[in-house]
C-alpha cells in the first residue's frame, strides 16, 4: 500500500518524505549515544552486540518519531505545517502501521543481544507509543518519559557489552539535557498545544515559570558535569571539553531564552542544543580514553 497521497508519487519522493518523517538527525544521535554507552565500558566488543544495539535503538527512535507525528498531526498543522503528514505527503494510517512495524523490529533485534536487552527495547517501545498517544499532552510526564528514553540509550549500550556502571554517567547527563530541551520545545509549540488543549507545562504555568524551570534544570546539569572530575572518574581533558563545549553553551541558552522567547529563537536554540549533544558525547569519550 502506498503511503504517498499528494502530487506525483515517485520512489525518490516517497523515500524523502519517510526520511523526513523519522527525523534522521535524532536517529543518528540515538545510535551514537548507544555506541558511546558501549565505549564508556572501556571496550568495543562484542562488535555484533554493539551493532545490533545501535541498529535496534535507531529503529525504535525512528518508530517513536513516526508515531509522534501520527498523533500530533492536528497540532503540527499549526506548529509545523511543513512536516510530511500535515503537508499531505504521507497517509496517516500507513504511517501508524509503519511505526508499529518498526516498534516490533527493534525489540526483536535486541533479543539477539540478550534477554535484558530485549526487555529494555520492548519496554522502551511500549512506553514511547503511549507517550505519543497519551502522556505527551500532560504536565511534565511526557518530558520525563522522553528524557528517560534518551538516558536509557547509554544504559542499552552498556548492556550490549555487559558493563553498565560507567554508562550511568552520560545517562544522567542526557536525562537533564533532554528534560530542559523538551520543555523549551514545549514553549515553542505553545500556540498549537493551547489550541489542541494539550496540557503541557508551558500551557498550564506560562512562559515565566517555564523559563525558570529550564534554568533550574540546566544549572543542575552544569553542577553535575563537575562531579566526574571532582571524584576523579574523568580527568582534565574531559573537564575542558565539558566546560567550554557544554556548560558555557548551556549558560548561553539560558541567557538567550530570557532575552528572546520568540518562536524563531526557540527553534534555533533547540537545534543548537541537539548539535551540542555531540560535544557532550565527545567529552565523555575523552574522559574514558584520554584521562
pLDDT tens per residue, range 221-242: 999 999 999 999 999 999 999 9
pLDDT tens for residues 163-222? 888 899 999 999 999 999 999 999 998 988 888 787 899 999 999 999 999 999 999 999
Is 3 a domain residue?
no
Is 8 a domain residue?
no
Is 37 a domain residue?
yes
Is 6 a domain residue?
no
Is 4 a domain residue?
no
Is 72 a domain residue?
yes
For 233, the domain range is 13-289
Q: Measure the N-to-C terminal CA separation of the chain; round to a whole number of Å.
A: 54
CA angle 132, 137, 138 (to 5 degrees): 120
User: Residue 105 and residue 200: Cα distance in Å, rounded?
Assistant: 31
Residue 5's pLDDT is 52
Residue 40's pLDDT is 86
* Residue 183 C-beta-side C-alpha neighbours within 13 Å: 29
Task: Tell me the pTM.
Answer: 0.86
Q: Which three cell numbers stand for residue 168?
A: 550511568
Is 283 a domain residue?
yes
CATH number at residue 165: 1.10.357.140
Query: Cβ neighbours of residue 73 under 8 Å, at least 6 residues apart?
Result: 85, 86, 92
Query: Which residues in 78-95 are b (16+ Cβ under 10 Å) and which e?
Result: ebbeebbbbbebbbeeeb
User: Residue 63 and residue 15: Cα distance in Å, rounded?
Assistant: 15
Confidence of residue 1 (pLDDT cuts 50, 70, 90): very low
> Quick check: 216 and 176 in contact, CB under 8 A?
no
Confidence of residue 248 (pLDDT cuts 50, 70, 90): very high
Q: State the total domains in the chain.
A: 1
> What does the mean pLDDT of the chain come to?
91
Is 2 a domain residue?
no
Amino acid at each position: 500500500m502506498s503511503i504517498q497521497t499528494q502530487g506525483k508519487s515517485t520512489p525518490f519522493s516517497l523515500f524523502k518524505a519517510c526520511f523526513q518523517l523519522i527525523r534522521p538527525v535524532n536517529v543518528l544521535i540515538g545510535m551514537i549515544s548507544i555506541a558511546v554507552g558501549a565505549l564508556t565500558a572501556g571496550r568495543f566488543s562484542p562488535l555484533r552486540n554493539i551493532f545490533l544495539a545501535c541498529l535496534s535503538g535507531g529503529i525504535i527512535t525512528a518508530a517513536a518519531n513516526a508515531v509522534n507525528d501520527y498523533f500530533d498531526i492536528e497540532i503540527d498543522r499549526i506548529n509545523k505545517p511543513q512536516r510530511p503528514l500535515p503537508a499531505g505527503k504521507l497517509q496517516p494510517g500507513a504511517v501508524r502501521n509503519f511505526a508499529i512495524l518498526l516498534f516490533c523490529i527493534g525489540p526483536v533485534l535486541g533479543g539477539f543481544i540478550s534477554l535484558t536487552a530485549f526487555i529494555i527495547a520492548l519496554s522502551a517501545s511500549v512506553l514511547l507509543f503511549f507517550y505519543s498517544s497519551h502522556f505527551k499532552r500532560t504536565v511534565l510526564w511526557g518530558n520525563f518519559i522522553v528524557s528517560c528514553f534518551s538516558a536509557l540509550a547509554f544504559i542499552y549500550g552498556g548492556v550490549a557489552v555487559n558493563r553498565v556502571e560507567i554508562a550511568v554517567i552520560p545517562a544522567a547527563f542526557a536525562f537533564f539535557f533532554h528534560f530542559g530541551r523538551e520543555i523549551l520545545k514545549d514553549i515553542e509549540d505553545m500556540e498549537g498545544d493551547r489550541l489542541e488543549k494539550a496540557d503541557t507545562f508551558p500551557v498550564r504555568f506560562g512562559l515565566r515559570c517555564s523559563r525558570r524551570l529550564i534554568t533550574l534544570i540546566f544549572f543542575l546539569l552544569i553542577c553535575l558535569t563537575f562531579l566526574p572530575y571532582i571524584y576523579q572518574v574523568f580527568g582534565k581533558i574531559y573537564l575542558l571539553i565539558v566546560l567550554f563545549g557544554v556548560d558555557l553553551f548551556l549558560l548561553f541558552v539560558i541567557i538567550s531564552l530570557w532575552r528572546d522567547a520568540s518562536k524563531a529563537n526557540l527553534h534555533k536554540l533547540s537545534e543548537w542544543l541537539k548539535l551540542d549533544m555531540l560535544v557532550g558525547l565527545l567529552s565523555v569519550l575523552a574522559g574514558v580514553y584520554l584521562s
